[in-house]
Structures are given as C-alpha cells and as structure tokens.
Amino acid sequence: MGIRQTMSYPVTSATRTRPVEQNSRSFHTESFRRRTSKMMSEWSPVAKVYDPLKAGSIDGTDEEPHDRAVWRGMLARYKPNKGVTGDPHLTLFVARLNPQTSEDKLQEVFSKFGDIRRVRLVRDIVTGFSKRYAFVEYKEERSVKRAWRDANKLVVDQYELFVDFEQERTLQGWVPRRLGGGQGGKKESGQLRFGGRDRPFRKPINLTSMMPQNRSADRWDASSGREERQRDQEQDREHGRWRERKNDWDRGSDRNDRGYYKEKRDSKHHRDRSREKDSNRKEDRRHRDSYRDRE
C-alpha cells in the first residue's frame, strides 16, 4: 500500500485564536448577563446588610470607592457598644432634634404611639449639650411600627424629626458615620450614604433587558467597542474641522461686516454734513433777505 500524502496548511495566529476569542467573548457576555440578572433579582431599596462601598453608591452597584470616607468605612472594624442595654428590635432612632428638646418632651411626644420603656437622649460628655439624636425603646412591637410610620417628619419644637429603626445592633456590618459609614447625609458635604429610609437605593438600569436576545458574540466584544470609539473619534474630528471652517467664515464675515458698517457710517456722516450745510445756506439766505427788506 502506498503512503497517502496529505497537504498540510500553515496554521496562522488568526486561525488559531479566532475560536478561542469567540468562545471567551460569549463566556464573558454570559457571565455578565448572569451577574446582572442576579443583581436585579437581589435588589432592594433598603440595605439588608451594610456595606460601606454600596452605601456610597446611589444604586448600590459601585465596585470602587469614590472618596476617602468610603475607604475608611471599608477598613473600619466597628463593634457595637456593649454598654447599650434594651431590646434593639423595640428601639427607634430619633434624629434632627432641636438642641433645646429634652427627654420629657420626647417622652410626651412618643408616648402617643404606645407604652415607652426608656428614652435616652445622647449628650456630649464634656459640655452636656444635646447631640440632637436620641433612642426611644417601646414595650411592644406594634408600638414601634406605629411610631416608625407616623412619627417620621413630625415637627417638634419647630424641627422636623427623622425616625428609623436602630441600625447599630440590628444591621449586620454596621459602621457609624464618624468612621465613614452611616446613612443619609447632606448634599453640601458630598458624602451621601444610601440604602436607608432617608435615602434609599435607586433601582439600577437593567442592562440585560437592553441586550438583544439573538445576539452574536462579536456585537458585545471589545472589538465592537473599539470600532464605536474610532467612529466617535472620527466624528469628533470632522466636527472640529467643521468648527474651524465656520470660525474662519465668521471671522471673514465679521471683517466684511465691519467694512460695510464703516462705509455706512461714513455715508451717513456725509449726508448729515451736507444737510447741515444746506440748512446753513438757507439760514444765510433768510438773513440776507430780511436785511434787504429792512433797507
């Protein structure tokens, strides 16, 4: 039997890597779809577990901290105060108090929603002044829920209150505001924290619903992104050339306009001078005639 000779084709880098690239693209696209769908299914406007990185994001999807306070919150190792007593599930957090509001006033206001076991107004250990927040512990769970629902944004001593459940002992991973965590905040500070009652998470954009169902691997890969960026850059360059031509045209038209208006001003000045001379001639003629009549 003769040995059959087979033709061997050279294997290039393109033929060798193309299937691998397509498989990796489809794999990354599928993993992205699974990750996004999982994130959308687990999304909640209120944080169930406190994460400083997610709390610093408006929709809880940040993957990198955007300021140093978030870094401090991520590196903090906070342990709840063991000196705090009472049932955390029956305790409300009351903030934004008037500095002059006392424990008796809080007792009077919050006793309308149920029987109170204890009221603790937090004060400065040195000055004794109020820190403008307190904790109210009830005896029954229904009283807590009623106060949480009705006492929020209640005006006491001309200040609008903020009422929420206690987070320090009930929310896993809690980090206070002084360590870069917390919830809420003011826009002026630039360090808002989301995931609480004051500022809940916004629902993120569902990217999987925007992706076509019958997609091909090369529509969502890096090469398509490069092509889009190159196309955008070319459009920007073309727009820049058009702006340059427009500016040149505007400068030329400005020059022509300046010359036109200068000629117009000159002609108007000439007409005014000629009218003035005519009026002077008429006045001189009138004077001569009147003088001749008197003679």
Does 90 score more than 90 pLDDT? yes
- Range 148-173 burial, b when 16+ CB lie within 10 A, else e: beebbebebeeeebbbbbbbbeebee
Does 171 score more than 80 pLDDT? yes
CA distance 123 to 101: 12
- Specify the pLDDT at position 214: 47
- Specify the pLDDT at position 149: 94
- For the chain, where are the E strands, in sequence order? 91-95, 116-123, 130-138, 155-156, 159-160, 162-165
pLDDT tens across 252-271, in order?
655 555 555 556 566 656 66
Domains of the chain: 38-78+173-201 (no CATH), 89-170 (3.30.70.330)
Per-chain mean pLDDT for the chain:
77
pLDDT tens across 135-165, in order?
999 999 999 999 999 999 999 999 999 999 9
pLDDT tens across 97-128, in order?
999 999 999 999 999 999 999 999 999 999 99
Q: Which residue has the tokens 């916004």?
A: 202
Average pLDDT in the 25-41 region?
64
CA distance 181 to 73: 5
Q: Which residue has the tokens 């949480």?
A: 148
Question: What's the count of helices (H) and strands (E) in the chain, helices before strands?
Answer: 7, 6
Q: Are 45 and 200 in contact (CB under 8 A)?
A: yes
Does 69 score more than 60 pLDDT? yes
Q: Are 195 and 55 in contact (CB under 8 A)?
A: yes
Specify the 3-state DSSP secondary structure of 131. Answer: strand
CA distance 136 to 117: 8
- Specify the pLDDT at position 162: 95
- Specify the pLDDT at position 138: 96
- Specify the pLDDT at position 4: 47
Average pLDDT in the 40-50 region?
82
- Specify the pLDDT at position 112: 94
pLDDT tens across 172-230, in order?
999 998 899 999 888 777 788 999 998 999 887 765 554 545 444 444 444 556 677 77
CA distance 241 to 261: 30
CA distance 248 to 108: 76
**Residue 132: pLDDT band by 50, 70, 90 thresholds?**
very high
